[in-house]
Structure 1
Amino acid sequence: MNPYRPNKILGFLLLTLLFFSCSSDLDFNQANDFKLEPIFIANLASFEIPANQFIEKGMEQNIAMEAQEFDVFRDSFFRENLRRADFFFEINNTINRSYTIDIILLDVNDQPLFNIPFDVPAYTGTKNQVTRKVIFEDVNLELLKSTRRMDFVLTMKAGPALNASSPGSLKLRSSATAYLLVE
């Protein structure tokens, strides 16, 4: 008996089995139904302003601050696929004065697009935290996509006078949750 004959028979059997193996039609159109819905969470801005920074040359002053630019909306992929954005703000006041805080979203020409106002009560010895969630969808989302900068304007309301040794601070923390749809 030839020693190569069993190998030939085994090879022929394997080849025959391959012709009878199961297969299914591939549906490449499934790639057209591909959809991703990623969610991104990022910090927006934060600050802490001690009470004595509201005093300049012995006089009480309001404060206006410019935050960093919004570079994320310059990216066409992000701008085209953004479906919703939630901004979350948390303000903690430990100063015995009440404030109005305006968060102003500005376009590339420094024109206001959207204003987010906050009334922050004066500190009275207990936790004094104001939180707010702003949802950007539809028309407001289009305004958000045009935003290039965010400014903060802190205005003191009437109350006890502040001086260079006044205790407390005004703290802000904020974050954004972006919902994308990639098809």
Structure 2
Amino acid sequence: MKSFIRNISKVLILASLFFSCSSNLDFDQVKDLKLKPVFVANLAYFDVAAKELVNDGGNQIAFDIRDFDVFKDKFFNEHLKKAAFDVQIDNTIERAFVVNLLLINANNEIVETLSYRVPAYKGTPNTTKYPTEVFENQRLDLLKQTVKIGFVVLITAGPPLTEQSPGKLNLKSSATVYMEIE
């Protein structure tokens, strides 16, 4: 008898699972859906030892260009609404610098130059976080033309750097991108 009651109970419980409440679904709400994802990614990085900048005490230029093909993706390009660049430079070399970040288009023309003055190392921590560069509207349109990023490092006048000169110049940067998908 107990097994009969158990079987009946199981059937009733199983049958109750087939009854549910539902309401009409409005799939037209999807038309109003707007996604606004935000992504953070590394933009550029370099770490240059003082001995790689050996000079006679005058101004010197270190130069490098890297491909930057982010804007080749049509979906990304169309939905990008805003970008923000954050740059931090750590200098442990007893010389001041100017670091220029060049945004270069497909015709090898400089679209924009972001310039960062770096103070000389004086024996205390020398990390500088620069104000965020925000790209919106027309400035964002210029940024979307970028296919290469160049770096120009200018050393200010001062004591000569030699193979034994201590320290390094370190740049870290990131990009925060704001998209809007409808």
Interval of TM-score (by shorter of Structure 1 and Structure 2):
0.7 to 0.9
Quote the residue 1:182 is aligned against.
181
When the two chains are superposed, the root-mean-square deviation of aligned CA atoms in Å is 1.9
Equivalent positions of 1:105-144 (< 5 A) are 105-132=103-130, 133-144=132-143
Alignment equivalent of 2:77, drawn from 65, 75, 79: 79
Distance in 1 between the 2:71 and 2:151 partners?
Answer: 20
> How far 1:55 sits from its partner (Å)?
1.7
Alignment equivalent of 1:93, drawn from 87, 91, 94: 91
Larger radius of gyration: 1
AA aligned opposite 1:76: K
> How far 1:71 sits from its partner (Å)?
1.8
Quote the residue 2:52 is aligned against.
53
AA aligned opposite 1:111: E
Quote the residue 2:100 is aligned against.
102
AA aligned opposite 1:78: F
Structure 1: runs of 5+ lacking an equivalent: 1-13
Tell me if structure 1 keeps the 8 A contact 2:86–2:133: yes
> How far 1:47 sits from its partner (Å)?
0.8
Quote the residue 1:34 is aligned against.
33
- SS class of match (1:166): coil
Distance in 1 between the 2:148 and 2:97 partners?
Answer: 22
Quote the residue 1:43 is aligned against.
42
AA aligned opposite 1:92: D
AA aligned opposite 2:83: A
AA aligned opposite 2:153: L
Quote the residue 1:146 is aligned against.
145
Distance 1:29 1:98, change over 3 A: same
- SS class of match (2:87): strand
Tell me if structure 1 keeps the 8 A contact 2:57–2:160: no
> How far 1:59 sits from its partner (Å)?
7.7
Quote the residue 1:9 is aligned against.
none
Distance in 1 between the 2:28 and 2:64 partners?
Answer: 52
Tell me if structure 1 keeps the 8 A contact 2:54–2:163: yes
The TM-score normalised by the length of structure 2 is: 0.83
AA aligned opposite 2:104: L
**Deviating 4+ runs (over 3 angstroms):** 21-26, 58-61
AA aligned opposite 1:101: V
Count of residues in correspondence between the two structures: 163
Tell me if structure 1 keeps the 8 A contact 2:96–2:120: yes
Distance in 1 between the 2:21 and 2:61 partners?
Answer: 77
AA aligned opposite 1:170: L
Q: Percent identity?
A: 42
Equivalent positions of 1:57-72 (< 5 A) are 61-67=60-66, 69-72=67-70
